């Protein structure tokens, strides 16, 4: 089911690559808008994966109400269909209290699915996926990317060679239906009058973002990310395919299982996260409804929030509009 137009028009969206400052800015924006935050992060749904997904702190969640965080066990393979269903419920719940649904996160597939509707593809065929996963390990990511290009050149061009999970899904769709995934993903944007009030993605300078990613991963390790991952592996039932493939957790699990040194795991996490940020840029750039907001990295979260408000009003980037009014707070 597509996200209802009447509900969608009441929503605000702040997207951006990992570590771009969107979460901090969203806390200030929520106060300005009288909003509650709905997570657009595919890994923040999992309980027990807190440090590595940079979930908002307890204090942040007390200051602004958050939704779709810690709603699934790591053993579950949480789907985009389930996300859209729960996002619809959360947004309806928020608007009934007279507040604004403010979606915040970096999962481009989740964002596009809300804006344009879901891709109704075949259900997962785990035997088929397992076979391709083994082939990918045997031959390498570049080989897998080439195999997809033979079947669906359009999707292969859009996906990075290291994005194994989505490469295999695209191959799976082709083998099960005989049609390329790209044939079914040409969802057109809704008419302008049916779009949300604001869809912004933060676009910081790449050198600044890379440095911030590296520093944040170091801070996460100091905060106990390895211990969190060790505890995650001890849960029953153990984490499923999706949770194990989360950035950083995948590399730290490989370390705990003896295939990587800790130094190698941290280095690979930084490299993979920087590559992921690049893919996020591509996602948002290709979603026509998204308006880029170029930042310098020097802006405070409060200033970023006012820049987003200005951009939503004018469609162009201006100096921050400062407001002296007291922020509204949503009722419980």
Give pLDDT tens digits for 40-55. 999 999 999 999 999 9
CATH 3.40.50.300 fits 5-119+187-314, yes or no: yes
Place of tokens 């050149």: 153
pLDDT at 328 over 80: no
Percent of the chain residues topping a pLDDT of 70: 92
Please state the rounded mean pLDDT for residues 224-245: 94
Domain boundaries in the chain? Answer: 5-119+187-314, 126-184
Q: What is the pLDDT of residues 60-101, one digit of tens each?
A: 999 999 999 999 999 998 888 899 999 999 999 999 999 999
Concatenating the DSSP letter of every residue in 200-220 gives EEEE--HHHHHHHHHHHHHHH
Residue 159 has pLDDT above 90, yes or no: no
Other Cβ atoms closer than 10 A to 259: 11
Of 4-8, 16-20, 156-160, 288-292, which gets the smallest average pLDDT? 156-160
* Residue 332 in this model has a pLDDT that exceeds 60: no
- State the average pLDDT over residues 10-39: 97
Does the pLDDT value for residue 158 go beyond 90? Answer: no
Sheet harboring 66-67: ordered strands across? 66-67, 35-39, 100-105, 12-15, 198-203, 291-294
Question: Could you give the CA distance from residue 52 to residue 164 in angstroms, rounded to a whole number?
Answer: 20
- For residue 123, pLDDT over 80 is answered with no
Among 23-37, 176-190, 215-229, the range scoring the smallest mean pLDDT is 176-190
pLDDT at 294 over 90: yes
- What does CATH list as the number for 126-184? 1.10.20.140
Contacts of 167 by beta carbon, 8 Å cutoff, 6+ apart: 136, 141, 144, 145, 148, 156, 159, 161
Q: Is the pLDDT of residue 324 over 80?
A: no
Q: What is the token pair recorded at 143?
A: 């080989």
Structure tokens at 273: 């996260």
Torsion of CA 208, 210, 216, 219, to 10 degrees: -110
3-state secondary structure of 293: strand
pLDDT of 233 reads 96
**What mean pLDDT do residues 239-250 have?**
93
């Amino acid at each position: 089911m597509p996200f209802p137009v009447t509900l969608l028009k009441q929503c605000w969206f702040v997207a951006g690559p990992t570590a771009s400052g969107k979460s901090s800015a969203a806390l200030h924006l929520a106060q300005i808008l009288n909003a509650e935050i709905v997570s657009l992060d595919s890994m923040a749904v999992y309980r027990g994966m807190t440090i590595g997904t940079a979930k908002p702190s307890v204090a942040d969640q007390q200051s602004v109400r958050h939704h779709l965080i810690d709603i699934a066990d790591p053993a579950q393979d949480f789907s985009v269909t389930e996300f859209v269903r729960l996002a619809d419920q959360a947004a309806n719940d928020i608007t009934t209290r007279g507040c604004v649904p403010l979606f915040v996160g970096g999962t481009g597939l989740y964002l596009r699915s809300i804006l344009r509707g879901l891709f109704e593809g075949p259900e997962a065929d785990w035997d088929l996926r397992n076979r391709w996963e083994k082939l990918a390990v045997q031959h390498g990511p570049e080989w897998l990317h080439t195999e997809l290009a033979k079947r669906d050149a359009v999707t292969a061009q859009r996906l990075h060679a290291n994005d194994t999970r989505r490469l295999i899904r695209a191959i799976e769709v082709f083998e099960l239906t005989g049609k390329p995934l790209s044939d079914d993903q040409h969802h057109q944007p809704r008419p302008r009058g049916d779009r949300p009030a604001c869809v912004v993605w933060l676009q910081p300078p790449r050198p600044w973002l890379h440095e911030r990613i590296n520093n944040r991963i170091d801070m996460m390790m100091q905060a106990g990310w390895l211990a969190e991952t060790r505890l995650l592996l001890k849960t029953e039932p153990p984490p499923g395919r999706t949770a194990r493939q989360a950035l950083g957790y995948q590399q730290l699990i490989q370390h705990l299982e003896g295939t990587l040194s800790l130094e190698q795991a941290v280095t690979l996490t930084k490299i993979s996260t920087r590559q992921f940020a690049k893919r996020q840029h591509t996602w948002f750039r290709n979603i026509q409804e998204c308006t880029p907001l170029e930042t310098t990295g020097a802006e405070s979260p409060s200033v970023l929030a006012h820049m987003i408000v200005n951009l939503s009003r004018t469609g162009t980037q201006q100096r921050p509009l400062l407001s002296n009014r007291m922020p509204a707070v949503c009722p419980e």
